Amino acid sequence: NAGVMQNPRHLVRRRGQEARLRCSPMKGHSHVYWYRQLPEEGLKFMVYLQKENIIDESGMPKERFSAEFPKEGPSILRIQQVVRGDSAAYFCASSPSQLVGGTEAFFGQGTRLTVV
């Protein structure tokens, strides 16, 4: 059973370009969470999605960032018109159901975005 797969592992974009980060959850998992980790900082929650629904986007910047988790295919985190401050590691986690009490989340290896 493959773990959470994120691609690409490394992504370089010039300022103003778009970045698309993909996350394939573990088999049987229908809940996906995106986190961002700025250099030398902790992980910050961005968005929680279920298939075809955004459940909680309280951590998403108001502009340029969007996320989706379609019925088929991976979850996508999209950053439009990237700026240098978007350079960070982006992690995706999945769980088989809503994270309650004792449920664990499984994380991918992350996508390291560098904006030049």
Residues in the site for another protein, rule: CB under 8 A? Answer: 4, 33, 35, 42-45, 48, 56, 91, 93, 98-102, 104-110
Output 72 or 104, the one with its CB closest to another protein.
104
Contacts 24+ apart (CB under 8 A), 46-54: 46/77, 47/77, 49/75
CB of 89 to another protein, least distance (A): 8
Output 28 or 102, the one with its CB closest to another protein.
102
Output 57 or 68, the one with its CB closest to another protein.
57
CB of 108 to another protein, least distance (A): 5
How far is Cα 5 from Cα 16, in angstroms, rounded to an integer?
Answer: 27
As given in the structure block, the two tokens for residue 25 are 């959850």
Distance of CA 69 to the CA centre of its chain: 10
